[in-house]
Chains A and B, each alone.
Chain A
């Protein structure tokens, strides 16, 4: 009974946090992209466009769900929900903090910890191709078909180097459970260098990490691998014929996939929720300093040089909220009585921070790079990524075999 109640609470919490993150990831993407491109981005709905995601959701929900007469109905309806369900399901096995104790109840941060969590996710993303491929095929539209074809070919090709890139850190960790993988990355070399997989002896996984990030871009259909939805070539690619909620489902699946792949990168390569340098050297003071700096900047701009109409009110308010968070983190760092709070907050902070940096990378690349051509994309996967991944895997296994025990 306890288990069920606890699971329900966790599921609700995670679903809420995840859906909010999805919505606001899109806001962040629009804002960052806009600033890269010399635009202000969303500004009208709410202060700094902060209510824009909400407006988007309302818009997409209330739009007419137009179904063209020439589509293959069962698959046409199945495809987007297949995509989004699989994408959201993947999040359930991702842990984002250590085991914690609240009011005497011990629980893990994260929905569940499968002993084969990574395999589970790889399986889900493989099936996720069906969402895109079926959507493209069922639309009975030439552009959508081409998009679906491109996407299935691309995702299947990039899954190989991706799996190989993921296999290398697994050799170091010797387990498939995310929690245990993160556990092997705890601690520091020489007292300061974290034992993250990208630094871990006997064979640091930097190459595997880079390979994984590249394939992750391809798996999520992001620039420069966004051929399936290349709007300049295929109008809108596989979702050309989709509107309203069904379009929103594809959209959500893309962003959920982004969160999944970046979380996996964080867990497997960047030490999960472990700080980048030891507590003795003051890693606990990084979050309060960051938040305080952010708050101070907002306060300063809001008071001295407000740009928009409400900036003189909203910016100081946000600044004070940030300063409050900073104070909370600072309290965790120095006050022993806040130790239980620290146990929850800091892992979440480091996990979210690392994932956030990777997500920022996704957005940054989108603002910078052009798109590959179909044949170049395939050649890149098969003649470069795949051999490098194989060599990296062989080298890792060699070093692990020679130097471990």
Chain B
């Protein structure tokens, strides 16, 4: 990728048509991470916006190639740190497909429940920071109050607040803790009233409407061409949701709607995400109600670590444990592309296996990368303040974008 060069001479000439090149970021309060946007300004009007990404490149994809399959799971957390479990899930599903594993229903239900809570978590962070960008400071604190509860739930289940690594190839890392599901139930029963609270603060607020309605439209065809997915695409009237179109992890057994708006602006994206919060809450309730009993890991002794108890009593279990821990499990040669609906859009892992214990190649098709492609066209000809609103509505995470 060619780097962007600042060219002071181009902006030089004095006169009425003098332009200013504003280097927004990589350190800027509203670029949410380290995104650099080079804005060419005429007064407050943006003539051209060029996003420059790559400041948060961590080389995760390459690192995955020298880790065993199970060791990759903690790396996937760090890709999109607001949708950690969606990334866990996507990776595990991909590898499980290569292995041909059957995941027991209880594990699938818990996975669905927790990924939907992840979606709520991610949307809450989005709503808070987006409102903060537009100047409504207080919403941020209300959202983070609920987010704190979610992080506590994550901590209950996995022992970690952010980097959960709770889903493993073959099932879950641990069974739910005592009182875990009751805690989820308490949170989710209360949650719709919290959403009412946020909507009370924003929906009828004329300034909020003025700032969001009609801002940042983009033709649907262009969106599809650029690879923009998720709430942005659905806010443009295109009902695309992997959970419905290519169900995974038993999503076909849950009743939920895919919110679609037709406004194709910041306001519609806000509406879509707010409705998704409620839909996700519904899915969590269904997962809690219909939670099946049974094991939490697949019956695959070569992949899943054996119980402690079995290790002490059965020779095979001890051998499998030793093999899995020292060299990992080997995955049949082949390649797989597994997509899930992450909070930000279509998240997919492309895994190539050469039959060894480590992935030959692992590529992540991350939603933030796709969505960011539309930034330039979205901002051309708008005002600086709009650029903040439009960028916020794209809901990107730079870690997710740069990997």
Contacts and interface: CB of A to CB of B under 8 A. Distances in A.
Nearest to A369: B207
A310 interface: no
B142 interface: yes
Contacts of A226: 135
A368 B137 CA distance: 7
Contact of B141 (A38, A227, A231): A38
Contacts of B207: 224, 369-372
B383 A367 contact: no
Given A232-B29, A232-B30, A370 B384 contact: no
Interface in B23-82: 28-30, 43-44
Given A142-B22, A233-B30, A370 B131 contact: yes
B138 A373 contact: no
Nearest to A226: B135
Nearest to B20: A142
Nearest to B385: A373
Interface in B133-148: 133-138, 140-142, 145
A366 B140 CA distance: 13
Contacts of B385: 227, 230, 233, 371, 373-374
A23 B336 CA distance: 63
B205 interface: yes
B10 interface: no
B2 to A, nearest CB: 24
A37 B29 CA distance: 20
B141 A371 contact: no
A64 interface: no
Contacts of B205: 369-370
A227 B137 CA distance: 14
B400 interface: no
Contact of B135 (A39, A143, A230): A230
Interface string B111-153: 0000000000000000000011111111011100100000000
B138 A233 contact: no
Contacts of B28: 235
A374 B382 CA distance: 11
Contact of A224 (B131, B135, B145): B135
Contacts of A376: 210-211
A146 to B, nearest CB: 7
Contacts of B20: 142
A373 B22 contact: no
B386 interface: yes
Contacts of A367: 137-138
B242 interface: no
B208 interface: yes
B353 to A, nearest CB: 45
Interface residues of A, number: 31
Contact of A39 (B43, B141, B201, B384): B141
Contact of B138 (A37, A149, A227, A231): A37
Contacts of A224: 135, 207
A232 to B, nearest CB: 4
Interface string A216-243: 0000000110110011111100000000
A224 B145 CA distance: 24
Interface string B187-212: 00000000000000100010110110
Interface string A351-378: 0000000000000001111111111100
Contacts of A146: 22, 44, 384
Instruction: Using C-beta atoms within 8 Å of the partner chain, give the interface range for chain B.
Output: 20 to 34
A35 to B, nearest CB: 11
B30 A369 contact: no
B400 to A, nearest CB: 21
Interface in B169-225: 201, 205, 207-208, 210-211
Contacts of A232: 29-30, 132-135, 388
B334 to A, nearest CB: 47
A193 interface: no
A290 B207 CA distance: 36
Nearest to A145: B20
Contacts of A150: 44
Interface string A37-67: 1110000000000000000000000000000
A373 B29 contact: no
Residue among A38, A39, A371 with the most chain B CB within 10 A?
A: A371
Given A372-B207, A373-B386, A374-B44, A223 B141 contact: no
Interface string B76-106: 0000000000000000000000000000000
A38 B201 CA distance: 15
A85 B16 CA distance: 35
A36 interface: yes
A372 B205 CA distance: 12
A373 B383 contact: yes
Given A142-B22, A146-B384, A232-B388, A371 B135 contact: yes
Nearest to A366: B137
A372 B137 contact: no
A366 B137 CA distance: 8
Contacts of B30: 232-233
Contacts of B141: 37-39
A36 B205 CA distance: 17
Contacts of A234: 384
Nearest to B201: A368
Contacts of A368: 136, 138, 201
Residue among B43, B136, B145, B385 with the most chain A CB within 10 A?
A: B385
B210 A372 contact: yes
B135 A38 contact: no
A370 B136 contact: yes
Given A369-B136, A369-B207, A373-B385, 9 more contacts: A36-B138, A37-B137, A37-B138, A149-B43, A150-B44, A223-B135, A370-B134, A371-B134, A372-B207
30 contacts: A37-B137, A37-B140, A37-B141, A38-B142, A143-B22, A146-B22, A146-B44, A146-B384, A150-B44, A223-B135, A223-B137, A224-B135, A232-B30, A232-B134, A233-B384, A233-B385, A235-B28, A368-B136, A368-B138, A369-B207, A370-B134, A370-B135, A370-B207, A371-B135, A371-B385, A372-B210, A373-B385, A374-B44, A375-B383, A376-B210
Interface of A: 33, 36-39, 142-143, 146, 149-150, 223-224, 226-227, 230-235, 366-376
